[in-house]
Structure 1
C-alpha cells in the first residue's frame, strides 16, 4: 500500500538529481584534489607525510564508517541521513578551503571523510527506495554511472585548471555548492520507524566492526607507504582478529547491526564480491598506471592524466549507448559482457611495451572503461535492490565498504608492484591481478542460480 501511495518519480525528478549530485560530489572530490596536492604542499610548507595524510585522512574514515552509515540510514531514514551527510560534507569542504595550516586541513579532511561515509551509502539506498518502477530504477542507476564517469573525467581537468588559476582552495569550494544542492533536492524524509519498530542498537557490533575496519584500512594505507612493515602487520593482524570477533558477535546478537543472513542472498553476495573486485581492478589500475607511466615512460603528470582520461570516457560512452539496451536484458548479462570487455582491454595493455605504443594504451583504457561502465551499473543496481527497501541502507553500506576496502587493497598491492626495480615484471604482474579481478566479477554470475536477477 505504501508503494502505491508514494509519489511517482522519474529518473529526472528532483529526488533523482539529488542522488546524481550526491554521487558526483564523492567522485569529483577525489579526482580533482590529486593535481592540487603539490601546490598545497608548497603553500602550507608541508612535508611528504603531511601531504599523504591529506588523502589518507579522508580515505580512512570513509572506508571504515560506511557500514555504520548504512545501518544508521535504516534507523533514522535515508533522506535524513543523506541531508546530514551532504550538508556536513559541504561545511567540511568550506573548512578545508579556509584552512591556514596543514594540520587543520588534515582535521577538516577527516571530517569530510566522516560525512562522506554517511552520504555515500544513502545514495544507493535512495535509488532502491525512490523508484518503484523497475525501468525508472534502471535508468536512475545508469545515469549514476554517467554522472560518476563525467565527474571522474572532469575532476583532473577542473582540479588542474582551478589550481593554476584560482589556487588550490578553489578545489574545495567546487564541491560545497554541489553538496548543498543535493541536500536541498532530496525532498521530505519518509516517515521514520517508530521507537517500537526500531531494532535495538548493536553497540558491540558497531564498535568492534568499526575498529576492525579502521585497523585493516590503516594497515593497507601504511602498506602502500612501505615505511614501517612492523606497524603494517600489527594493524592488519589486529584488524582481521577484530573482524573475526565482529562476525562471532553478530552471529550471537539478538539484534545484529549486520545480520549474517543477508549473505544468503546470492545476488547480494555476488554484488559484494564484485564490488571488491571492481574497485581493486578498475581504480587500482588507474593508480598503478599513473605511477608506471611517469616512472617507466617518463611522461609528465599532465600527459599521464590525459592518457588515463579514455577510461572515464569509456564509462560514459557505455552508459549512454550500451546500457539502455543491456539493462533490458538483465544484470546477469551486463556483468558477463562488461567483465569480458574489461578483461580484454586489460590484456590489450600487454602490447604497450614502450611510449610509442601510447595509442594502444588509449584504446585499451577506453575498452576497460566501457566494460567497467557496464558491469558497475549492474552491480550498483543489484546492491541497491537485492535486500529490499527496509534494508537498503545496510545493503549499500556493506557493498560500499567492500568497494572501498577493495580499492585500498588494490592500491597497496599494485603500488608495491609499481615500485619494483624491474618495471616490466611489475607491469605484467599487475595486469595478471587486474585480469583476475574481471574474472572474479564474471564468476559471481557463473555460479548455479535459483533465480535470475532483474
Structure 2
C-alpha cells in the first residue's frame, strides 16, 4: 500500500494526541466530578495525579518493553488498556474507582508515549522523511494541550463530565484496528532487560511523595503523611543504590552526573510543576471564584496553551541558530513574570486581570519546551538520545504530579474565596522564584 506510511503516521498521532489530551482535558471537569461523586479536595488532586504518577513511573520501562517484544504489540496493548480504563473512568460510581481507573489510564499512556514514537521512527527509514514525520508527530501532540480545556469544557457543558472519558472509546477502537492492519511486527531485541526493581522503586517513591504532599497540605503533619514521606525517601535511596549496581539500569547514574544533562532535566520538571500547578488552581479559581461554567473556563485557559503550540517551531528555529541557552533564559524570565502577575488577582478580579498571567506562563513555556529537550538530548552521545528523551519526559510527568499536589495543597481548593486567593498569592511568589531559579540553572549548565 503506497500510502501506508502516511496512514501509520496518522494513527500514531491519534494515539499520542489522546495521551496528552488527557493531561489537561480533565481539569475543567473537576468541579463537576467533585459534586457528582463527592470527591473532596485531596481526591480531586488524585484524579489528576494518578494519571501523571503512572506515566512518570512506567515511561522508561515501557520503552524497554517495546524493544523486547516489539513496539507494535506495546502500542496495541497501550490502546487497549487506555480504552478500557477510559470506559471505567466514564462509568465510575465512586471517587476511589475513578482514581484507580485514572491510574490504569496512565499505564496505557505510558505504553503509548514511547511506542508511538518508535513506530514512527521505524516507519520512515529515510532521514529526511523521518524528520518531517517526527515534526508532524510533535506538532499534533502539542495541539492536544490547548484542545484539552476547550474540548473538556464543551463536553462537560453539553453532555456531562463522564463524556470527557467516554469520548476516547471510538477513537481507541478505530486505532487498534488500524494498528493491527497497518503496522508491521517490527524488530525485537529480547536481550534487552527491564529494570523491574528500579521501576517498582520509582513508582512507589513518586506515589508516596505525592501522597505525602497532598496529605500534609490538607491535614498537617499527621502519621499518614509522615509515613509516606519516610517511604518516599527510602524508595529514593533504594533507587539510587539499585541503579548504581544494575547491569542494565533504567536510569544510568553516570548520565545524571553530567550538569549539562541534569540541569535541563531539573528545569523541565520544574516547568511542568509550575505550569500544571497553575493550571489546576486557575481552573478552580475560574469556576469556584469567578463562577464560570466549564466551557467558559476551558476557553479562558486557551492563552496558557495556545502559545505552546504556536511558539514550538519558533523556539526550535531559535535553538538551531543560537543554541538552546538564549530561548531557555528568555522563556524562563517571561514565565516568571507571568507567575508573579497572579499577585494582582483577587476575588473581585475580572478575566482581564488574569489574562496577562496566563499569557506570560504560556509564552514562557512555549519558548522553553523545545529548547529544554534539545539541551538534554545534546548533552549525551547520539546513541543515548532515546534514553535522554525518555528521562526528560519522565522528569516532566513527575513535575506535573508534584505540581498538582503542591499547588492544590497551598491554594486549599475547598476554602472560601478570600483564603483561596491568599494561597494563590503565595503560589505566585513560589512560581516566580522557581522560574527565576530555572533561568539561572540553564544559564549555568546549558552549553552554548
Q: 1:30-41, aligned counterparts within 5 Å?
A: 30-37=23-30, 40=33
CA distance in 2, matches of 1:268, 1:442: 15
Q: Which residue of 2 aligns with 1:263?
A: 256
Show structure 1 runs of 5+ residues with no match. 1-8
Does 2:434 align with 1:442?
Answer: no
TM-score under structure 1 length normalisation: 0.79
Does 2:183 align with 1:191?
Answer: no
Does 2:51 align with 1:58?
Answer: yes
Return the match for 2:423 from 423, 426, 447: 426
Give the 3 Å change call, closer, same or farther, for CA 99–354 of structure 1 in structure 2: closer
* TM-superposition CA deviations, 1:47-72 (whole Å, max 9, x none): 54766654454344333333432443
Give the 3 Å change call, closer, same or farther, for CA 52–427 of structure 1 in structure 2: closer
Give the 3 Å change call, closer, same or farther, for CA 429–314 of structure 1 in structure 2: same
Return the match for 2:395 from 384, 390, 402: 402
Q: Which residue of 1 aligns with 2:211?
A: 218
* TM-superposition CA deviations, 1:415-447 (whole Å, max 9, x none): 233238655653333122212332343334322
Q: 1:362-381, aligned counterparts within 5 Å?
A: 362-381=355-374
Deviation at 1:389, TM superposition (A): 7.1
Q: Which residue of 2 aligns with 1:244?
A: 237
Give the 3 Å change call, closer, same or farther, for CA 412–162 of structure 1 in structure 2: closer
CA distance in 2, matches of 1:141, 1:219: 38
Deviation at 1:365, TM superposition (A): 1.4
| Contact 1:318-1:371 at 8 Å conserved across structures | no
TM-score under structure 2 length normalisation: 0.80
Does 2:113 align with 1:120?
Answer: yes
Give the 3 Å change call, closer, same or farther, for CA 189–109 of structure 1 in structure 2: same
* TM-superposition CA deviations, 1:11-69 (whole Å, max 9, x none): x94454445333321222243334445555666x5554766654454344333333432
* TM-superposition CA deviations, 1:243-284 (whole Å, max 9, x none): 112211221223323221222454432331122111111111
| Contact 1:64-1:217 at 8 Å conserved across structures | no
For 2:444, what is the secondary structure of its paired residue? coil
Does 2:324 align with 1:331?
Answer: yes
* TM-superposition CA deviations, 1:62-91 (whole Å, max 9, x none): 333334324434444445433322332123
Q: Which residue of 1 aligns with 2:305?
A: 312
Give the 3 Å change call, closer, same or farther, for CA 225–55 of structure 1 in structure 2: farther
Give the 3 Å change call, closer, same or farther, for CA 124–213 of structure 1 in structure 2: farther
* TM-superposition CA deviations, 1:327-386 (whole Å, max 9, x none): 432433332232232223333444445645632421331232122112112233455675
Q: Which residue of 2 aligns with 1:152?
A: 145
**Pairwise CA RMSD:** 3.9
CA distance in 1, matches of 2:324, 2:132: 13
Give the 3 Å change call, closer, same or farther, for CA 138–360 of structure 1 in structure 2: farther
Q: Which residue of 2 aligns with 1:173?
A: 166
Q: Which residue of 2 aligns with 1:163?
A: 156
CA distance in 1, matches of 2:123, 2:257: 25
Show structure 2 runs of 5+ residues with no match. none
CA distance in 1, matches of 2:354, 2:250: 44
Aligned length: 437
CA distance in 2, matches of 1:376, 1:326: 12
Deviates more, 1:154-163 or 1:224-233: 224-233
For 1:83, what is the secondary structure of its paired residue? helix
Deviation at 1:142, TM superposition (A): 6.0
| Contact 1:217-1:405 at 8 Å conserved across structures | no
CA distance in 2, matches of 1:121, 1:439: 31
Q: 1:6-155, aligned counterparts within 5 Å?
A: 13-14=6-7, 16-37=9-30, 40=33, 46=38, 48=40, 54-99=47-92, 104-122=97-115, 146-155=139-148
